A and B are shown apart, each in its own frame.
Chain A
C-alpha cells in the first residue's frame, strides 16, 4: 500500500497538481477469531466489514485521495495471539481495532487505552464500556447485552403484558450467559413479573436437561441467551418441550444459518437486532453494484444481506464516518482524533441500515436502540420500531458497573 501511495503521490506531483493535504491511508485492525469459537459470526461479519471498506474506497467517502485499509488476522480466540496481532497492527499504523472476541478484548483493553487506540466492541464485550468517562477509547457502538435484554422485555410488555407473567431465561453457563441477570432482576420488580434462570453447559450441543426444567416451570415467555451452534439446539429443544416458537425471544446471535438448521419449526421465533437484515438498503445495494458485481467482494456473494454481514457493514459505516469527521480540517488521523470523530457523530443511521446513533464523551453506546424481528419462514421481519428501551435503567447499570471497574483498578 505504501508503494501505491507513493506512486499516487508522485503521479500527482508529476501532473503538476497541487496537493495541499497529503493523501492518507487509514488502517483498521480487524483481528478476529476465524478458526475457534466465534466462527459462527466472524466469516459473514468480517466479509461485510471488508466489503464496506471497499465501497468507501470506491466512493471516496474519506475525501480526495484518502483510503482505508483493513489489516485482517486470525487470533483463534487466544489472548496471546491477539496481543501479538494488536502490537503488530499498531506498528503498521492501525488506529481502530475490532477483535470480536471477549477474552482477546479483555486482554488488550488496558493497553489500548494507554496507547490511545480506539477499540470497538459492537454487540459484544463489556457493557460498562459504554461509559466513556471510564473507558475513553472503547466504543460498544450498538446496544449492549443489557440494552438488548431490556428491549426484548419491553417487547413482551407491549405484546401480551408482563404483570404476573413468568419468564424463563435459558442461557449458556458463562459470564456472557449471565449478562441479562441484573437487568431482569431490576425489571422484575418494576414490571411485576417473575423469572428463573436455566443454565446449560458450554458449548450447548446438549440442553435437554435445562429444557425439561423449563417445561415444568411453565413460562409465558422464554429468553434464549447463547451463541453459535447452541442457539439452534435451544430453539429445537424448546419446541420439543412444548414451548411455542412465538414464546421464544433471542439475544442478537440468532441468524439465517440457525433458521436453516432448525427448519420450518423456526417460524415465529423472535430476536433482538441492532441492524436491519436483507439487501433492500441503499448501502447494501451500492455494495452489490460497486463491489460485488466487479468481482471485488471478499467472500461468497450469497452472504450479502445476511444479518451478520449487515452488522459488519454497519460497524464499518460508523467507523468510516468517525474517521471522516476525525480528519476534518486536514489533520492526520490518530487514535485521539478518531475518538473525537466518534463523539461528533450525531443521528447517523447508515442510510436506514440501523437506528440513528449519537455518541458523546459520556455515552459510547450510541443510545442503545434496536428492535425485535421475527422469522417468517424465509427472512427476518421487524415487529417493532427502532427505539431504546428503559434507557435510564440501562444507564444506571452501566454507570454502577463502570464505577466498580474504576474502583478495582
Chain B
C-alpha cells in the first residue's frame, strides 16, 4: 500500500518544479498579457483598430498606460494586420515628436522622430506573414506580430501647445493600406 503513495521528497520536487514553471511563465508571457490588456483598452475593446485615437491631455485620471508623461500629447493606433498592411502618416510638428511601433510583446520595433522626418512621417506597416504586397514608393516596416500599438508623441507641456498638437494630429492617418 505504501508503494502507491508519493513520498515527501516527491511533493517537494513537484512544488519546486511548479514554482519554476510559474516564474518562467510570468517572465515569458506577461509582456503579451500586459500588451493585450493595453491594446484592448486603447482600441475600446478591439472595436477601434487601424485608426488613430487622440488622447486627452494627461491628468491624474489618465490610467490607460502606466507612467504617462503630463508634458506629451499622445495619439495611439492599435494595429491589426490580419487582413492587410496599414498605411501610417503623421503630420509634422515644430518641436519634439516621435512615432513608435510596438509589437505584441512590447518591443519597440521602429521609431522615427521629427529630426529624422521634418516633413512628417509616412510608412507602411506589413505583417509577419507578408500576406499583402506593400507599396514600394514608401518605407515599409515589418512587424513580427499581427497586432501591436503605434504611438504618436508630441511635446506639448502647456495647454496652448496641447491645443496646437490636437490640430496637427488631425492630419494623422492609420488605415488599411490602399497604396499600390
Are the chains A and B members of one assembly?
no
A residues lining the B interface (CB < 8 Å): none
- Residues of B at the A interface (CB closer than 8 Å) are none
